[in-house]
Structure 1
Amino acid sequence: MQVLSADDVRRLVPMRAAIDAVRDAFRELAAGNFVLPPRQIFGDGAVLVMSAYHTPTGTAVVKKIGIDLDTVPAIRATVIWTGGGDQLVADGTSITTLRTGAVVGVATDLLAPADASRLTLVGTGAQAPDQVRAVLAVRPIADVTIVGRSADRATALARQLSAEFPEVRFTPSSTLGDPHIVCCATSTTTPLFDADELPSQVHVNAIGAFRPSMRELPRNLFIGSTVVVDQREAALEESGEVIDAIDSGTLRVEDLIELGPALSEPPVRTGRTVFKSVGIGPQDWAIAAALARAQVQRSTPLR
């Protein structure tokens, strides 16, 4: 059994490799190559158990997540991957932030303008840095505006990311600015902004709301927008903003485009595009499988 730390995860699967792995996993999902049981939810979302089985390879992943939004980090997780008699146990917290960033990279690469250069990040928590890393991996971003409830945390995150990406300008702010791309990574239960605050052409990623009671996006953002979700069934069960928009008649179920099929048949984009993710098992499988391959290729000693 191989046991991998958070540092191992980052060393073995950099963001660009994670994006490629997650993109391939969504194509596999669209092809019907995953058995994907519903996510088990305990204690009103305090504990989650996710799993996925990849039928062509006979490999599987199980992730247990503990969530406490009043602690730092808010998410603590463990991932177990099995295949061919081998078993890998890895830090699930780092895998979760990495694969969540990676799916945003996949969606941004599909939906955002190729020349997008301005990103606004709303949120300064554990998920935030990988949102930026993912978008920078697929678009020529020159300016990043960071918006958070705490000006000090926004400033600290700007300094951290500036050291990592010295060619990019990072600016803490209390407003969205004039973005080409917006990434939302918060635990809010009320929308972060009104659609009127956004340009008429913009791509929005939202990954923070994973319970029906949570909402990052305003209802009116869905009007006339192209809306892509990681999986329709998961979004209808867990995404507070999607549930609210459908219940209000703002959005129809048939308007939801799943990411996997969209990779083969890209949707006709309107002025605004939205990607909503609640996270599904194939994303974790993608990173865990990439870790397993990297271990074999690099012959990394067991820890």
Structure 2
Amino acid sequence: MKIFSGDDVRRTVSMAAAVGAVRAAFGELRAGNFVLPARQVFGDGAVLVMSAYHPPTGTAVVKKIGIALDQVPAIRATLIWTGSGEQIVADGTSITTLRTGAVVGVATELLADPDATRLTVIGTGAQSADQVRAVLAVRRIAEVTLVGRDAGRAAALAATLGEEFPEVKFTSGTDIEASVADAEVICCATSSSTPLFRADALPERVHVNAIGAFRPTMRELPRDLLATATLVVVDQEEAALEESGEIIDAIEAGVLARSGASHGGSPASTTATSRPSLLDLGDALADPPAVSGRTVFKSVGVGPQDWAIAKLLSES
């Protein structure tokens, strides 16, 4: 048995490697090469158990997550990987933040302006640093703004990341709408139950990632953004319809369609007579869409992301 602490995970798996592994895993997911049991949820989301089995290799991963939003860190997890007579036990907290950052890197590389240089991250919790690392892994970002309710915490995170990325200008603040006004990439990593900003506060061309809201009662994105986006991509539609408050709300309001429900199945540009429809990340990677205007990626997390990072650990 191999055991990996959080520090071991960080030393073993770079963000660039994680992005590549997660990208490949979504290709495997699209090809039908995973068995994904339904995520088990206990205590109104206080405890989650998720798993994935990869028949082509006979490998499997199981992760138990405890979530306490009033604690630091809010997420505590343990991961177990099995396959080929090998077993790994690893710190699931570091894997969760790493793989969540990695999928944002995959989506940003696909959907953001190739020349984007300005990033805004809303939220200063445990997920935020890996959101920055992931976007910097796929775009030549020159300026990063970190926004949170606690100005001191935002400033401290900016200082820490500034030491890690001295070539990037980091600033911090508490005014969300001012911070998104000229952003080209936005990452939302909060536990908010209400939208973080108004859609009309955004530039006309921007890519927005949302990873923080993981319950049907939670919201980070305004309904108007989902109604008017040129593309709304999710990690997996089935998972999003179970757990993403923003996606559930927009579909129930009739401003967002399920995949295949608009223009014969193609993701729709919003007009007076059409509405955007969901697109799975695996499908978008297999047939990259033309991008313009405002694009959205919403992630609730799926087992193949954990499997991808555990596979890298097993190969180390």
TM-score class, shorter-chain normalisation, is: over 0.9
AA partner of residue 239 (structure 1): S
SS in 2 for 1:160: helix
- Matches of 2:25 and 2:283 in 1, distance apart? 12
Q: How does 1:35-114 map to 2 (within 5 A)?
A: 35-114=35-114
Q: State the Cα deviation string for residues 201-237 of structure 1 (Å, max 9, x = none).
A: 0000000000000000000001231100000000000
**Structure 1 segments unaligned to the other structure (5+ residues):** 295-303
- Matches of 1:262 and 1:115 in 2, distance apart? 20
SS in 2 for 1:89: strand
Asked whether the equivalents of residues 119 and 181 of structure 1 are also in contact (C-alpha less than 8 Å), the reply is yes
Residue of structure 2 in register with 1:161 after alignment? 161
Residue of structure 2 in register with 1:271 after alignment? 293
- Matches of 1:244 and 1:171 in 2, distance apart? 33
Asked whether the equivalents of residues 227 and 250 of structure 2 are also in contact (C-alpha less than 8 Å), the reply is no
Q: How does 1:227-266 map to 2 (within 5 A)?
A: 227-254=232-259, 255-266=277-288
- Matches of 2:197 and 2:283 in 1, distance apart? 30
Q: CA deviation at 1:261?
A: 1.5
AA partner of residue 219 (structure 1): R
User: Is residue 123 of structure 1 aligned with residue 123 of structure 2?
Assistant: yes
- Matches of 2:111 and 2:280 in 1, distance apart? 13
Q: CA deviation at 1:253?
A: 1.1
- Matches of 1:289 and 1:85 in 2, distance apart? 14
Q: CA deviation at 1:85?
A: 1.0
Task: Quote the sequence identity (%).
Answer: 71
Q: CA deviation at 1:269?
A: 2.0
Q: CA deviation at 1:128?
A: 0.2
Q: State the Cα deviation string for residues 224-260 of structure 1 (Å, max 9, x = none).
A: 3110000000000000000111111111112110001
User: Is residue 191 of structure 1 aligned with residue 195 of structure 2?
Assistant: yes
AA partner of residue 197 (structure 2): F
Asked whether the equivalents of residues 207 and 277 of structure 1 are also in contact (C-alpha less than 8 Å), the reply is yes
Asked whether the equivalents of residues 182 and 203 of structure 2 are also in contact (C-alpha less than 8 Å), the reply is yes
- Matches of 1:253 and 1:259 in 2, distance apart? 14
SS in 2 for 1:244: helix
Which runs of structure 1 show a deviation greater than 3 angstroms over 4 or more consecutive aligned residues? none
User: Is residue 218 of structure 1 aligned with residue 222 of structure 2?
Assistant: yes
Asked whether the equivalents of residues 147 and 172 of structure 1 are also in contact (C-alpha less than 8 Å), the reply is yes
Asked whether the equivalents of residues 40 and 50 of structure 1 are also in contact (C-alpha less than 8 Å), the reply is yes
SS in 2 for 1:223: helix
User: Is residue 180 of structure 1 aligned with residue 202 of structure 2?
Assistant: no
SS in 2 for 1:56: coil
Q: CA deviation at 1:270?
A: 3.3
SS in 1 for 2:295: strand
- Matches of 1:237 and 1:95 in 2, distance apart? 23
AA partner of residue 180 (structure 1): E
User: Is residue 203 of structure 1 aligned with residue 207 of structure 2?
Assistant: yes
Asked whether the equivalents of residues 96 and 284 of structure 1 are also in contact (C-alpha less than 8 Å), the reply is yes
AA partner of residue 226 (structure 2): F
- Matches of 2:69 and 2:94 in 1, distance apart? 17
Residue of structure 1 in register with 2:265 after alignment? none
Asked whether the equivalents of residues 224 and 270 of structure 1 are also in contact (C-alpha less than 8 Å), the reply is no
Q: How does 1:274-289 map to 2 (within 5 A)?
A: 274-289=296-311
AA partner of residue 221 (structure 2): L
Asked whether the equivalents of residues 208 and 216 of structure 1 are also in contact (C-alpha less than 8 Å), the reply is yes
AA partner of residue 279 (structure 2): I
The count of corresponding residues between Structure 1 and Structure 2 is 294
Q: CA deviation at 1:268?
A: 2.8
TM-score (norm 2): 0.92
AA partner of residue 182 (structure 2): D
SS in 1 for 2:124: coil
